[in-house]
Amino acid sequence: MRISFLKAPTGGIIGLEMITFVEPLGMECVAGGLEPEGHECQIVDLRIDGPEAGMEKVKRFAPQVVGLQCNFTTERYRMLRLARQVREEMPGTKVLLGGHDVSRDPNWFYHPSIDVVAIGDGEEIMPGVARAFDEGKDLRDIPGLMINEAEGPVFTGHAPARRDIDDLPMPARHLIDDYADNYYINFRRPLALLETARGCPFKCNFCSVWKFHESTFREKSPERTVAELAAIKAPNVFITDDIFWMNVKRGRAMARALKESGIKKHYTVQTRSDIICRFPELIEMWKDCGELSIFIGLEKIDDAGLDSVNKSNTAENNDRAIEILRDLGVGYTPNFIVDPSWERKDFDKLKRWIDKTGAYNSGFSVLTPLPGTDLWDETKDDLVTEDWELFDIVHTVLPTRLPIDEFYREYAGLWQHALDVRYQVRGRFKTYLGLMAAMATGKVTYSALRKGMRLGLSKLSDPESFMRAHRGSEARLAEARELVGAGV
């Protein structure tokens, strides 16, 4: 049968999706398991094609099943609009929904425009669903589903999750060939995603990854990782593992396998400061595999703050990791969580840390309770909005101790301060010269540079950008309720 996977349009508020614009790897992975069974698959990225042209492309394909993805909470209303559009314009087509946010809060997606909701790893669930649709069998026999029936949702039990993820199908990357040059992170484009592990053994209260994977941590072998990497054409690769190098032995083996393969890329990875402190030689091994940038969720600058988010780490490790990466000449981006309860002195304290360390690449997330996290359970009664577009980790959805306009003045001041420190450390001329050199060598595209500078200079450092989003919230909510009806 023919199956179309649709990625919903971007919302347009500042947020995470404006900073990173990445391929729908989950859809590619699911399609990779369907094509060998004889199903014909299509991926349409409406963020790139646009809603009208993208839907025309889907209609020409004439799918029997349309698969939608809701990974981020911010996508909820957009995804329901899209589901309703598919239902109206392609009556008789089955609409299936999956993704991380869906799996953590499936009941929210009980809606007449959606036939089936997949809860868990899509590669395990979707082949059975496609066979059932194709052969007219009962979906109730397939675990991992919420079936949206008129009388109410029907759950079919716990989805399977294979332990050896080397057995997972290879992603169907050919399905996004027409889009591949458009994906980026920060200034680097084109960008591809690579998954080498799933899950996380830590239990940070703001994160739902460990709950989605039920506290498991599953790894692909170095051989499988290199095989996937060999199929990637892009020069820049973002490794999606929530904590890279969790298994240090495997990290070393992967570095050796990559070096032997001769594949050279610019790798962006996410890891913890305590791993960097304990195994700095691992960072050196990966430097030999190509260029390397590291995203480190430091979260807080003192132990009390780290304890408040259940980070299971220390401020000493955070400071030491920055020193190690600087000594090794490895690019890094520390990220911090800004609490809505902060006072001015808390913002000033973080600025002084940046002054001391010179960590001008720092990023700042606003503490956001997302459905499926411990933080959500603790604070959901305190939420000040139901506008899911604001749940993008750069807007507050909890009450602020400071007046909200002052909170955003301080928050935007953090982004501006980091930029000022960059100019102090590197110099304004050297900063721009480095970016121009990167663009000249093809490491950074002009469009990515222009968009990134506009975001950093014009939006994140301007408190009015954040206030404007809040002022538009009621209009967005009214439109969402009108579009998606009683299902909201």
pLDDT digits (tens, 9 = 90+) for 235-263: 999 999 999 999 999 999 999 999 999 99
Alpha carbon distance 199, 202 (integer Å):
9
For 175-211, give the DSSP string: GGTTTGGG-EETTB-SEEEE--EEE-S---TT--HHH
Selected residue with higher pLDDT from 358 and 426: 358
Claim to verify: residue 140 and residue 116 sit in the same structural domain = yes
Claim to verify: residue 75 and residue 208 sit in the same structural domain = no
296, 273 contact by CB (below 8 A): yes
- Domain assignment present for 488: no
- Confidence label for 429 from pLDDT (cuts 50, 70 and 90): very low
Is the pLDDT reported for residue 339 higher than 90? yes
- Domain assignment present for 447: yes
Is the pLDDT reported for residue 487 higher than 80? no
Claim to verify: residue 180 and residue 241 sit in the same structural domain = yes
- The residue out of 131, 163, 195 marking a domain boundary is 163
- Confidence label for 455 from pLDDT (cuts 50, 70 and 90): low
Is the pLDDT reported for residue 57 higher than 70? yes
- The residue out of 163, 191, 215 marking a domain boundary is 163
Mean pLDDT score, 56-84: 94
Across the beta sheet with 331-338, the strand order is 191-194, 236-239, 265-271, 290-299, 331-338, 363-366
CATH number, residue 61 = 3.40.50.2300
CATH number, residue 207 = 3.20.20.70
What's the pLDDT at 440?
56
Across the beta sheet with 65-69, the strand order is 40-45, 2-7, 65-69, 94-98, 116-118, 145-149, 152-155
What's the pLDDT at 426?
61
Claim to verify: residue 153 and residue 172 sit in the same structural domain = no
What is the number of structural domains in the chain?
2
Claim to verify: residue 139 and residue 205 sit in the same structural domain = no
Q: What is the pTM of this model?
A: 0.89
- Domain assignment present for 484: no
Share in percent of the chain as helix, strand, coil (round to 5): 50, 15, 30
- Domain assignment present for 146: yes
Which segment of 68-72, 116-120, 122-126, 210-214 scores lowest on mean pLDDT?
210-214
Which segment of 98-112, 263-277, 296-310, 457-471 scores lowest on mean pLDDT?
457-471
Tokens of 84: 């309703």
Mean pLDDT, the chain, rounded, equals: 90
Is the pLDDT reported for residue 485 higher than 80? no
Claim to verify: residue 187 and residue 126 sit in the same structural domain = no
- The residue out of 108, 129, 163 marking a domain boundary is 163
Claim to verify: residue 137 and residue 256 sit in the same structural domain = no
pLDDT in tens, 342-379: 999 999 999 999 999 989 889 999 999 999 899 999 99
pLDDT in tens, 183-226: 988 778 899 999 999 988 888 888 888 788 788 889 999 999 99
- Confidence label for 98 from pLDDT (cuts 50, 70 and 90): very high
Q: Structural domain of residue 71, as residue ranges?
A: 2-163
Residue written as token pair 């690769």: 237
274 three-class SS: helix
- Confidence label for 21 from pLDDT (cuts 50, 70 and 90): confident
Selected residue with higher pLDDT from 275 and 459: 275
Claim to verify: residue 40 and residue 13 sit in the same structural domain = yes
What's the pLDDT at 210?
78
